[in-house]
Amino acid sequence: MSTIAFIGLGIMGSPMAVHLVEAGHTVAGYNRSPEKARALGEAGGRVAKSVADAVTGAEVVALMVPDSPDVQDVLTGDDGVFATAAPGTLIIDFSSIRPDVTRELAEEAGRRGLRYLDAPVSGGEAGARNAALSIMVGGADGDFEAAKPIFDAVGRTVAHVGPSGAGQTVKAANQLVVAANIEALAEAVVFLRAYGVDLEAALEVLGGGLAGSAVLTQKRANMLSHSFEPGFRIALHHKDMGIVTSAAREAGVVLPMGALVAQLVAAANASGDGALDHSALLRGVERLSGAS
């Protein structure tokens, strides 16, 4: 069992930290909004007063924060992880950020005698709550093996996909596929409604055939009820699609579908839907179709 500092106790981070406590690890968690640390405290974890307070004495530091600047701030700030962690500490970044930023941070961690894994996750709030996340990990083989008990406590599918930055690259590809699937499902829903078919029955039969997908299974209830309580916010998916398009340009590859979906996600975000679940891409198709 490890002594773990967990930084970022939001929709994803809170249940992940709780699962680590339940697995027997000693967890100190920190979040800028203290009320979000309540679940960890109730589960038996320690609610830290600052990043430095959480990190002091930790063998492992886990992060789950929204974007590249947030990770940089947590790691490189005056009282951040790099300034506080003891040599040999293993840093696991569960956030979804730019691969180039990850590589730079991993290099800096190495210069400071720290170990670093990028380990972005897929599965949304449901996956975090059910300890069923898919985790794509970049970094050294030995560090991956050392982190396996932690990954196994919060995830179901765990893969070491390459060196530093590789996890973030795979996550970017994941977000491209997910966004394209949600957009296709949203367009199918609007199309089916226009013809007055039994929508629930139609999605059930589509889910049993080649059109079936995890997106259809997990997001059809949102679209049927037109309820978009966030499991994964459009604003975050907008950020992720920016990572996809930027990385594709850097690599010199063309992603026609990715470019289109990135614009549709950007439009949803600009229309005020950023705080809604990404299944609310349905609202964008409805707006384009003149429906409400």
CATH number at residue 153: 3.40.50.720
Domain boundary among 163, 197, 215: 163
In the chain, % of residues over pLDDT 90: 97
In the chain, % of residues over pLDDT 70: 100
Candidates 36, 49, 148, 171; catalytic one: 171
For tokens 């949304």, what's the residue?
Answer: 124
Q: Which amino acid is at 227?
A: S
* Mean pLDDT, residues 9-13 taken together: 95
Same domain, 114 and 228: no
Same domain, 127 and 203: no
User: Helices 166-194 and 256-268: crossing angle, nearest 10°?
Assistant: 70
Confidence of residue 147 (pLDDT cuts 50, 70, 90): very high
Same domain, 181 and 95: no
Same domain, 128 and 209: no
What was the pLDDT predicted at 226? Answer: 97
Distance CA 59, CA 53 (A): 13
- CA triple 242-244-249, angle to 5 deg: 95
What was the pLDDT predicted at 291? Answer: 80
Q: Across the chain, what does the average pLDDT equal?
A: 96
**C-alpha dist (Å) from residue 64 to 89, 91, 97, 99, 258:** 17, 11, 10, 16, 25
CB atoms under 10 Å from CB of 161, counted, come to 19
* Mean pLDDT, residues 100-123 taken together: 97
Q: Which amino acid is at 110?
A: G
* Mean pLDDT, residues 237-241 taken together: 97
Same domain, 115 and 194: no
Q: What does pTM read for this prediction?
A: 0.92
What was the pLDDT predicted at 1? Answer: 78
Same domain, 192 and 271: yes
What was the pLDDT predicted at 264? Answer: 98
For tokens 């730019």, what's the residue?
Answer: 98
Annotated active-site residue 171? The verdict is yes
Nearest partner of 180 among 61, 283, 270, 260, judged by Cα: 260
Same domain, 44 and 132: yes
Same domain, 178 and 262: yes
Given a cut of 70, is residue 82 above it in pLDDT?
yes
**C-alpha dist (Å) from residue 78 to 16, 62, 163, 176:** 27, 18, 28, 35
CB atoms under 10 Å from CB of 209, counted, come to 7
For tokens 């009820």, what's the residue?
Answer: 225
What was the pLDDT predicted at 292? Answer: 60
Same domain, 218 and 256: yes
Question: Range of 260's domain?
Answer: 169-288
| Total of domains in the chain | 2
CB atoms under 10 Å from CB of 73, counted, come to 13
Same domain, 267 and 177: yes
Distance CA 140, CA 254 (A): 30
239: domain CATH number? Answer: 1.10.1040.10
Same domain, 68 and 187: no
